[in-house]
Amino acid sequence: MTRYDDLFDELAADESVFADKGALDPLAEPEDIVPWTEQERALGRILTGVTEDYLPTTVSIYGPPGTGKTITTQRLCQEFADRQSMVGVEYVNLKECRTIFSAANEILFALGGEKEGAYVGLDGVFEAIWERLEEYPEWTVLILDEIDHIQHDANYDPSDFFYRLLRGEGKLERELQLSVFLISNELLTVDLRLDSRVESAMGGEEVFFPPYDEAELRAIIGARIEVAFVDGGLSEEAFDRGVQEAAYRWGDARRTLRLFRQAGELATERKLDRVTVDCLLDSLEGTERETTVAKLRSLPLRHLVVLAAAVGTRGSDGKIIQPVRSSRIHERLQQPSTAEQFRLGERAIQKLVGELDTMGLVESWTESKGRAGRAMYVETTFDPEWVYEAQAAVAERLLPAEEY
């Protein structure tokens, strides 16, 4: 026996509470979609417009994470296209696209084209997109997921991208009938600050997916829980508590699946034969932390730098001092390396704090200081140490913590 044998033996679950853990994988295609009756009807109504020769140029599908936007839209559009030969559907996820040019190239690729080189420019890629679309049925529904990941870059702004997509000359000349279904967490015109010419070119159709309530989460994950756990592997109280907490905190099906998977892993680690309410509550904290850290990691650097400055002051007991005044954040951001890189004045900092507040990552408020005017205070809504966890390298490189 080597020490690796010992290690693997120790870690291999001989008494697992799981029968088929894969059933809790959010990426696994669920057999049944618990219908979102209202939203399905709204999307269905839009699609059947084809029979009257009309599809809106855009449909904005938005709502918080894990509320079934992707799965419902994809399936409904595909089912419709399977029944209507004059409709084609393509799905593109833009999450990994760092530039607007790469987003256009990703669309081209999904339409069966070869990606273009940078030298052709955005217009060149769009020209190739229109050529591909000529081969498509009369109507094309293009689903663009995570479209809010498109950000301003050095060469183009999102309005340029949308204007070409909706009103591009090559498209108008060829009289292509294209309807773009845009999936995002926030309403796009607000989130991406699209300009008015783009707004007026958009279809104006919107479908909102609200967070799931307890009954819906129960229905969505109930069947998967039955497959995932051995008989009696999850106590009824733990299941009830799990869906209640998940509905109260997030209304997100993906996070709920993850919560039950982690609670099961914890039970196995603790050598229990069933998941208890304690396992569930302990995992709940872990899930909260994991998702917050992931969210922090995906923040634009300027927001992260402001957060790092907000949590960068420790008391003599080593604890991070909160709340912190925005002027203190400003002061910390005046260190030469940071100041030069980000050039953040007090007003810019307050604006970024406001945006972090809207994202639910901080709470901010102002207090009157009499003659000294008003002061803005900021406090994170989560354990401030997580900021370091999320971007240890960035936070420490930019702003080493200092004692107050």
Ligand X SMILES: Nc1ncnc2c1ncn2[C@@H]1O[C@H](COP(=O)(O)OP(=O)(O)OP(=O)(O)O)[C@@H](O)[C@H]1O
Query: Where do contacts with ligand X occur on this chain (CB under 6 A)?
Result: 26, 30, 33-34, 36, 65-71, 185, 209, 220, 253-254
Q: Could you say which DSSP state residue 52 is in?
A: G
Cis amide bond preceding 323, omega within 30: yes
The answer to whether 68 is annotated as binding is: yes
Q: Cβ of residue 251: shortest distance to ligand X, in angstroms?
A: 10
Contact of 266 with 279, CB cutoff 8 Å: yes
Count of CB atoms within 10 A of residue 87's CB?
A: 21
Contact of 314 with 321, CB cutoff 8 Å: yes
The answer to whether 33 is annotated as binding is: no
Count of CB atoms within 10 A of residue 46's CB?
A: 22
Q: Cβ of residue 219: shortest distance to ligand X, in angstroms?
A: 8
Instruction: Rank residues 26 and 170 by Cβ distance to ligand X and give the closer one.
Output: 26
Q: Cβ of residue 259: shortest distance to ligand X, in angstroms?
A: 12
Instruction: Rank residues 246 and 329 by Cβ distance to ligand X and give the closer one.
Output: 246
According to the 3-state scheme, what is the secondary structure of 114-176?
CCCCHHHHHHHHHHHHHHHHCCCCCEEEEEEECHHHCCCCCCCCHHHHHHHHHHCHHHHHHCC
CA–CA distance, 130 with 123 (Å, rounded to integer): 11
The answer to whether 224 is annotated as binding is: yes
Q: Cβ of residue 51: shortest distance to ligand X, in angstroms?
A: 26
CA–CA distance, 288 with 274 (Å, rounded to integer): 22
Contact of 382 with 292, CB cutoff 8 Å: yes
Q: Cβ of residue 143: shortest distance to ligand X, in angstroms?
A: 11
Cα atoms found within 13 Å of the Cα of residue 281, Cβ hemisphere only: 5
Instruction: Rank residues 71 and 277 by Cβ distance to ligand X and give the closer one.
Output: 71
Instruction: Rank residues 59 and 310 by Cβ distance to ligand X and give the closer one.
Output: 59
Residue type, 362: V
Count of CB atoms within 10 A of residue 96's CB?
A: 10
Contact of 221 with 243, CB cutoff 8 Å: yes
Contact of 182 with 222, CB cutoff 8 Å: no
Instruction: Rank residues 68 and 264 by Cβ distance to ligand X and give the closer one.
Output: 68
Of 289, 292, 233, 291, the C-alpha closest to 263 is 233
Contact of 20 with 227, CB cutoff 8 Å: yes
Instruction: Rank residues 40 and 383 by Cβ distance to ligand X and give the closer one.
Output: 40
Q: Cβ of residue 190: shortest distance to ligand X, in angstroms?
A: 16
Q: Cβ of residue 369: shortest distance to ligand X, in angstroms?
A: 41
Q: Could you say which DSSP state residue 200 is in?
A: H
The answer to whether 69 is annotated as binding is: yes
Instruction: Rank residues 66 and 168 by Cβ distance to ligand X and give the closer one.
Output: 66
Instruction: Rank residues 290 and 363 by Cβ distance to ligand X and give the closer one.
Output: 290
The answer to whether 70 is annotated as binding is: yes
Instruction: Rank residues 36 and 161 by Cβ distance to ligand X and give the closer one.
Output: 36
Q: Cβ of residue 65: shortest distance to ligand X, in angstroms?
A: 3
Q: Cβ of residue 54: shortest distance to ligand X, in angstroms?
A: 26
Contact of 17 with 229, CB cutoff 8 Å: yes
Residues contributing to the annotated binding site: 67-71, 212, 224
Residues contributing to the annotated binding site for ATP: 67-71, 212, 224
